[in-house]
Amino acid sequence: MLEAGVKAPDFALNDKNGKEVRLSDFAGRRVVVYFYPKDNTPGCTRQACAFRDRNSEYESLGIPVIGISKDSEASHTKFAAKHELPFILLADPELKAIQAYDVWKEKKLYGKVSMGVVRTTYLIDADGNIEKVWNKVKPDNNAAEILEYINGAE
């Protein structure tokens, strides 16, 4: 995982509509960037819906939310439509941002070892530095704990 205080790696990934989005597009603003394993899985759906349910609070603070997984643009389109997700979802099938943010790790599930995305959230400050990192986050609590931090840090 990257640590707070370091420069956040820029990325250029496509959203669900095929439009390229760069982290640098948000220069001068704080941004939440969260990495998750897979669209339409139970934990990832709960996490996305928690961000959806708190989206108006993020918008009122002027803080965009960006979700990144290795799923395709088409998968993101279906996921966003099915759950009415109003924030940006970026496709990273080549693992460019996922590896740059050091969230591609060995995982163990029921004794089986595989590589995958470790659920991690970064708050990027207005200068493009990592302000805070939440690793091994709980899907249901992540959106709320970030808002708690932001509201307490201002």
Provide the pLDDT confidence category of residue 153 given band limits of 50, 70 and 90: low
Q: Which of 13, 31, 33, 44 is catalytic?
A: 44
Q: Which amino acid is at 10?
A: D
Residue 152, classified by CB atoms within 10 Å of its CB into exposed (0-12), middle (13-18) or buried (19+), is: exposed
pLDDT tens for 103-127 read 999 888 788 888 989 999 999 999 9
Pairwise CA distance, residues 153 & 50, whole Å = 21
**Annotation says 49 is catalytic:** no
Question: What is the SS3 assignment for 12?
Answer: strand
Is CATH 3.90.1200.10 the classification given to domain 12-153? Answer: no
Question: Where in the chain are the domains?
Answer: 12-153
Pair 75, 39: CB distance under 8 Å: yes
Task: Give the tokens for residue 54.
Answer: 């708190």
For the chain, where are the alpha helices, taking DSSP H only? Answer: 42-53, 55-60, 73-83, 96-100, 142-153
pLDDT tens for 55-94 read 999 999 999 999 999 999 999 999 999 999 999 999 999 9
Closest among 45, 142, 141, 96 to 132, alpha carbons compared: 142
Closest among 132, 116, 113 to 33, alpha carbons compared: 132
